[in-house]
Amino acid sequence: EDQVTQSPEALRLQEGESSSLNCSYTVSGLRGLFWYRQDPGKGPEFLFTLYSAGEEKEKERLKATLTKKESFLHITAPKPEDSATYLCAALTNSGYALNFGKGTSLLVTP
Amino acid sequence: DSGVTQTPKHLITATGQRVTLRCSPRSGDLSVYWYQQSLDQGLQFLIQYYNGEERAKGNILERFSAQQFPDLHSELNLSSLELGDSALYFCASSVDQLLRQETQYFGPGTRLLVL
């Protein structure tokens, strides 16, 4: 059975304190690994798609990387406005729907 | 703004009732997906339509049904509502062509509360 697991469940950082969020996946044939940001009560906002091991993508303070078993979302010098829940999701060869992890709730304090 | 619209934003109803949630995909997107998000389950895939045809089903209850119309908007119908159906319902759309145009863009959601 396809499984996507995110850790930690919650993370509290001081402004400027860099860290990484983990997304490990056990799926049959990864077609793409997606990262989304979700603010409370809002829809997930697309951040990145990664397709193959070794691929990296960057956007402002965020950098996503992919290996054969997991993906990391690195947050460099975060600001309070980076506070949100970060979701990763796998798209596999066995279907068309995204298989989501439960998310990491990030709080960045001034 | 993702370009995906959903109405209504909020819906309060009673057990046993039926409601309809509406979604308009981004311009040019042929695929529409419906997801349910509850506190304990996270985001769960319900159903996908592609250019008017049902393409994939997830954990969708028999009380729930959906359709996609010729103008590509979609409706999710929830009937015989139970307290446990209270959740956020999201619609997403994608171009869904070959060459990796599969990123799903999500709408703002409909918050359903069943009393």
- The 3-class SS string of chain A reads CCEEEEECCEEEEECCCCEEEEEEEECCCEEEEEEEEECCCCCCEEEEEECCCCCEEEECCEEEEECCCEEEEEECCCCHHHCEEEEEEEEECCCCCCEECCCEEEEEEC
Task: Please give, one letter per residue, the 3-state secondary structure of chain B.
Answer: CCCCEEECCEEEECCCCCEEEEEECCCCCCEEEEEEEECCCEEEEEEEEECCEEEEECCCCCCEEEEECCCCCEEEEECCCCHHHCEEEEEEEECCCCCCCCCCEECCCEEEEEC
Q: What are the structure tokens assigned to B52, written together?
A: 């008017």
- Percent of chain A surpassing pLDDT 90: 85
Interface membership of B60 toward A (CB under 8 Å): no
Interface membership of A99 toward B (CB under 8 Å): yes
Q: What are the structure tokens assigned to A29, written together?
A: 């044939």
- Type of residue at B92: A
- Cβ atoms B27, B52 nearer than 8 A: no
The Cα A102–Cα B61 span in angstroms is: 21
**Which chain B residues in 95-114 lie under 8 Å from chain A, judged by CB atoms?**
96, 100, 102-109, 111
Q: Which of A31, A97, A103 is nearest residue B42 as measured by Cβ atoms?
A: A103
Residue with tokens 């997403």: B92
Is the model's pLDDT at A104 over the cut of 80?
Answer: yes
Mean of the per-residue pLDDT values of chain B: 93
For A3-22, the pLDDT digits (tens) are 999 999 999 999 999 999 99
Q: What are the structure tokens assigned to A94, written together?
A: 């066995």
Tell me whether strands B110-114 and B10-13 are parallel, antiparallel or unpaired: parallel
Residue B41 has what pLDDT? 79
Is the model's pLDDT at A29 over the cut of 80?
Answer: yes
Residue B98 has what pLDDT? 53
Q: Which of A36, A42, A97 is nearest residue B108 as measured by Cβ atoms?
A: A42
Distances in Å between the Cα of A97 and the Cα atoms of A90, B48, B114 are 9, 8, 26
A43, B109: Cβ pair inside 8 Å?
yes
> How far B75 CA sits from the closest chain A CA (Å)?
17
> How far A87 CA sits from the closest chain B CA (Å)?
9
For B9-61, the pLDDT digits (tens) are 999 999 999 999 999 999 989 999 999 999 877 899 999 999 999 999 998 99
Is the model's pLDDT at B66 over the cut of 70?
Answer: yes
Residue A95 has what pLDDT? 74
Q: Which residues of B touch A96 (CB under 8 A)?
A: 31, 33, 48, 55-56, 96
Is the model's pLDDT at A85 over the cut of 80?
Answer: yes
B106, A103: Cβ pair inside 8 Å?
no
Residue B101 has what pLDDT? 57
Residue A27 has what pLDDT? 85
Measured between its terminal Cα atoms, the distance across chain B in Å is 31
Residue B104 has what pLDDT? 93
Is the model's pLDDT at A47 over the cut of 70?
Answer: yes
Q: In a mutagenesis test of the A interface, which of B68, B101, B106, B110 is the best target, namely the one with the most A β-carbons within 10 Å?
A: B106
Interface membership of A91 toward B (CB under 8 Å): yes
